[in-house]
Amino acid sequence: MATNWAGNITFSAEPHAPESVPELQELVRSSEHVRVLGSGHSFNRIADTTGTLVSVASLPRVITVGEDTVTVSAGLRYGEVTAALQAAGRALHNLGSLPHISIAGACSTGTHGSGDANGTLASAVSGITFVNADGELVTLTRDDPDFPGSVVSLGALGVTVSLELDTRPSFEISQVVYDALPVERLGSDFEEVFSSAYSVSAFTDWVDPDVMVWRKLRAGTPYEPSWLGARVADGARHPIKSMPADFATQQGGVPGPWNERLPHFRLEFTPSNGEELQSEYFVPRAVAAQAFEELKALGGLMAPVIQISEVRTIAADDLWLSPSQGRDTVALHFTWIRDEEAVRPVVSALEEVLLPLGARPHWGKVFTVDAATLRECYPKVPEFIALAAKYDPAGKFRNDYLDTCLP
């Protein structure tokens, strides 16, 4: 049976891969229950179903570059689209750590990149076309009142077939890695750290007193050999200090196109074999320093199961189920060993200290919070449930995950 990328989920059905939109429409129309599988980079059962599991990866490839937008078929991965955009002199505003993830899957789960002024990947979506429960094509754009609930949709409205994304002129980035930022400066110098580049990532295990910071600067921006007590790395780095940097994107301040610097990993390599679990929580920017103190206090508890934690910032947006809906946000990401029995108690302990700070869990990763708590975390959940019922009144696109999280 098919599994997700991490190998911790075995899907209950083998995926169907329709080769045309009409074939997909008929498959949806004739199925009692349907869920959509992207590139398999979720770490829970959000995509699972005992009914019809659909992959859109075999739909005809569409990359239509316009003056300030690009229209893409849903099954494409970011790396495929960004190369075409760069060749046309255009760019997206933001990218995730991996260029290997599918565009529709990343947007539908609220996946993000980094940068004080940069919204989630979904915030670039200006139009979406999906197959609804009746097998009909529905297109929504930003001027439609349903649009803010349709992009980060968890697959609950239908099967996305294409997306229109905002673009901007291509730009170059120089990536500079710093070693040994004192961990206390993440909080005391928070604004300076995370406003210091177009995109910033800080890597820590919350025990080591030294933090590694990746600053993705606009090409031509000068940078200091010493900065806030940290120093420029003397060679290439992987986010996990003990791992070789072969798969990482170019560092050392060498300028290069946005699509080859904003991700952490190169498109031409597989960054790992997926032997991991991931969790992520999004807190309001105003409580960042307090959240860091809580995480340092839990460092010893996390130590046996954590591989690395990453801190990033995200600009506010208005998408209903986005982790940064209505507020500028700090993302606290955790890469664990692949041992769910050992990881879940640690995740519960994290939630005990982060939820009172307003944390929202990532929809596609490991979390333990219940439906009532999710309604408190994501204030637009009632509106979203009503929207899903509008396009799917019989619950064709629901599964155990949605019944548990958004009943």
pLDDT at position 162 is 98
DSSP string, 110-165: T-----TT---GGGGEEEEEEE-TTS-EEEEETTSTTHHHHSS-TT-S-EEEEEEE
* DSSP character at residue 51: S
Predicted model pTM = 0.96
| Residues in CB range of 161: below 8 A, 6 or more apart | 21, 24, 56, 59, 73, 74, 129, 130, 131, 137
Q: Which residues contact 316 (CB under 8 A, 6 or more apart)?
A: 119, 324, 325, 326, 327, 328, 329
Q: What is the dihedral of CA 355, 360, 364, 367, to 10 degrees?
A: 10
For 100-110, the pLDDT digits (tens) are: 999 999 999 99
Low-confidence ranges of the chain (pLDDT < 50): none
Q: Look up residue 18 and give its two tokens.
A: 């329709």
Q: State which amino acid sits at residue 244.
A: P
At residue 366, the 3 state secondary structure works out as coil
Given this model, what pLDDT does residue 5 score?
87
Amino acid at 248: A
Q: How many CB atoms lie within 10 A of CB 244?
A: 10
Nearest to 238 by CA among 290, 160, 177, 294: 177
Residue with tokens 């890695």: 177
pLDDT at 70: 98
Running DSSP on this structure, what letter comes out for residue 180?
Answer: E
pLDDT tens string 193-220: 999 999 999 999 999 999 999 999 999 9
Which pLDDT score, from 0 to 100, does residue 275 have? 85
| pLDDT tens figures, 329-372 | 999 999 999 999 999 999 999 999 999 999 999 999 999 999 99
**Dist CA 210 CA 204 (whole Å):** 7
The pLDDT, as a whole number, for residue 1 is 78
Q: What does the pLDDT read at residue 318?
A: 97
Element (H, E) at 191: helix 190-194
